[in-house]
Chain A
Amino acid sequence: MIEVEHLNVHFGSNHVVRDVSFRVAAGETFGLVGESGSGKSTVLRTIAGLNAGWDGRMAVAGQALGPRRDRAFFQRVQMVFQDPYGSLHPRQTVDRILAEPLEVHGIPDAESRITRALEEVALPRTARFRYPHQLSGGQRQRVAIARALIADPSVLLLDEPTSALDVSVQAEVLNLLSDLREARQLTCILVSHNLAVVAHLCERLAVMQGGRIVEILSEAELRAGQARHSHTQDLIALSHELEG
């Protein structure tokens, strides 16, 4: 479904992503793990078309991606951002935020779609006409997820969707994402620095360091402790330390 080959990203003279290649099959959830600054979010934003200055080859559903994305691309690919406090327009109600993608894509029946989208992410009806500042962090992230899904995309890009939330809310949002992925047969790329989160949701994952992918392994291999690269082993040891 998603193919990335020899992707390089430059920010000015900074070479932040170096020769990254991976493939994600339809319906699969693929994890990108690494420390802060390893380039994992940059890869995701580049696929989403939010970064210029890249070379290499990327394709989604067999269609190569150019420097500019068309509207059809944005109907197929959507993204959930890390910080739910920053990703919702502060002057728009939930209703307005959810109506925007429908208006842009000319999708009819906005009323019932918005009601359904709120139900799907388990937000109460009363939240519909509230402003983001009247919602909790978890509720905001649910709104962001509802916005991403309202135009029925087949690919969902998740940029650390839970790291800005309380631990208790994290599990709820992760379970919601995992249920939605099942129900809608979504292909996902999940970026996280948390190995436990990635292991929970992903079938395969790539470990990034300094802008390169150092290792791609399956979730089973990760659990069995079959990581080969020393950086992966470090990350595993670190996550055990934090949990224990």
Chain B
Amino acid sequence: MSATTRREWLLSDTPSSRSQARWGRRYQLWLAFRRNWLAVAGLAVVVLMLLLAIFAPLLATHDPGAQQLANRLQPPSAEHWLGTDELGRDSWSRLLYGGRVTLGMVVAVVALVAPLGLIIGCVAGYAGGMVDKVLMRVTDVFLAFPRLILALAFVAAMRPGVESAVIAIALTAWPPYARLARAETLTIRNTDYIAAVRMTGASPWRVIWKHVTPMCMPSLTVRVTLDMSSIILTAAGLGFLGLGAQPPIPEWGTMIATARRFILEQWWVPVIPGIAIFTASLAFNLLGDGLRDVLDPKQR
């Protein structure tokens, strides 16, 4: 199929199959998204960082754990592209492997948090009454804690490490999604199209799962993408405080923490992971902004 006919097939006003209608809709969204070059740049950077993290073993020039004490705190050179850290380990390789840990934590948190918040919010909003009251008070309890403090307390109570950091961040990150999903559900539940679905005799679970959640997905996706940067910062913050990933695991926050003594003399050592955190946060924010312009029906 050539490029023009594929385009026509996607933009057809009279799709002839389920999949054509679905792909056509996605293509329309992509066309709208593409017009915002900042968002496309954000997406490109996010994809690039994920690829770098995934292919870290192929791209790394050194073993991220190999120490060369004679070669410590070197500036960038042909041998060590981004220099070496305080134990003579290659910063470029550690940055790549650190991306695996940091971005992996973000993905794990989102995978835990988004479905949980969505289900709790939709059920509370759709059921109303007692169910709503109980679920929302539980949400309020978690919302009342400052995020980093609860995460700190939780990690301190458990064993410091990547898994506990993920669980701790997840515990504090879901309530806003539940609130958002509930608010969306409240506006949807009294519409005629949901009344029509109820009149098919579908069970409440089916109504929520098949008809309410798809309407909550766009705003939730936007919110999650915008929150990615703060999740990265919290993950890095926990690492910096020594409660996230433990040395010698390379993690961007931990890398800054261990190198912070050299900020005046060998500034590139802590600055390089700092730039990585900054770039990732910015890219996710730009991507989220672009997604909001495309997905949020209230903006159109």
CA distance A130 to B17 in the complex (A): 9
Interface string of A125-160 (1 = CB under 8 A from B): 011011100100000000010010001000000000
CA distance A95 to B17 in the complex (A): 9
Partner-contacting stretch, out of A31-39, A85-93, A177-185: A85-93
Chain A residue nearest to B215 (CB atoms) is A91
Report the interface size for chain B: residues with CB under 8 A from the other chain. Answer: 25
Query: Which single member of B15, B193, B195 contacts A130 (CB below 8 Å)?
Result: B15
Q: Report if A17 contacts B (CB, 8 A).
A: no
Contacts of B196 in A (CB 8 A): 79, 81, 87-88, 144, 147
Known A-B contacts A129-B18, A129-B21; the reply to A104 vs B192 at CB < 8 A is: no
Contacts of B211 in A (CB 8 A): 89
Contacts of A101 in B (CB 8 A): 200-201
Q: How far is the CB of A223 from chain B (nearest CB, A)?
A: 33
Contacts of B17 in A (CB 8 A): 129
Q: Report if B7 contacts A (CB, 8 A).
A: no
Q: How far is the CB of B28 from chain A (nearest CB, A)?
A: 10
The reply to whether A104 and B193 contact each other, CB–CB distance below 8 Å, is no
The reply to whether B192 and A100 contact each other, CB–CB distance below 8 Å, is no
Known A-B contacts A91-B214, A104-B206, A131-B21; the reply to A79 vs B199 at CB < 8 A is: yes
Of residues B15, B18, B192, B202, which shows the largest number of chain A Cβ atoms within 10 Å of its Cβ? Answer: B192
Interface string of A69-85 (1 = CB under 8 A from B): 11101110011011100
The reply to whether B200 and A74 contact each other, CB–CB distance below 8 Å, is yes
Q: Report if A228 contacts B (CB, 8 A).
A: no
Q: Report if A105 contacts B (CB, 8 A).
A: yes
Contacts of A20 in B (CB 8 A): none
Of residues 1 through 30 on chain B, the ones whose CB sits less than 8 Å from some CB of chain A are 13-18, 20-21, 25
Q: Report if B197 contacts A (CB, 8 A).
A: yes
Q: Report if B35 contacts A (CB, 8 A).
A: no
Contacts of A90 in B (CB 8 A): 193, 215
Chain B residue nearest to A84 (CB atoms) is B192
Q: Report if B191 contacts A (CB, 8 A).
A: yes
Q: How far is the CB of A126 from chain B (nearest CB, A)?
A: 4
Tally the A-B contacts, defined by beta carbons under 8 Å. 77
The reply to whether A83 and B201 contact each other, CB–CB distance below 8 Å, is no
Q: How far is the CB of B155 from chain A (nearest CB, A)?
A: 40
Contacts of A50 in B (CB 8 A): 195, 198-199
Q: Report if A174 contacts B (CB, 8 A).
A: no
Q: How far is the CB of A161 from chain B (nearest CB, A)?
A: 12
Contacts of B191 in A (CB 8 A): 86
Q: Report if A48 contacts B (CB, 8 A).
A: yes
CA distance A103 to B191 in the complex (A): 22
Q: How far is the CB of A12 from chain B (nearest CB, A)?
A: 14
CA distance A104 to B210 in the complex (A): 12
The reply to whether A74 and B193 contact each other, CB–CB distance below 8 Å, is no
State the A residues within 8 Å of B (CB): 45, 48-50, 69-71, 73-75, 78-79, 81-83, 86-91, 93, 95-96, 100-101, 104-105, 126-127, 129-131, 134, 144, 147, 151
Q: What are 17 contact pairs spanning A and B, CB under 8 A? A: A73-B201, A74-B200, A78-B199, A79-B199, A81-B192, A87-B193, A89-B197, A89-B211, A93-B18, A95-B18, A101-B200, A127-B14, A129-B18, A129-B20, A129-B21, A130-B14, A130-B21
Having A93-B18, A129-B17, one finds 10 other A-B pairs with CB under 8 Å, namely A49-B198, A69-B201, A78-B199, A79-B196, A81-B192, A87-B193, A89-B211, A101-B200, A126-B16, A130-B14
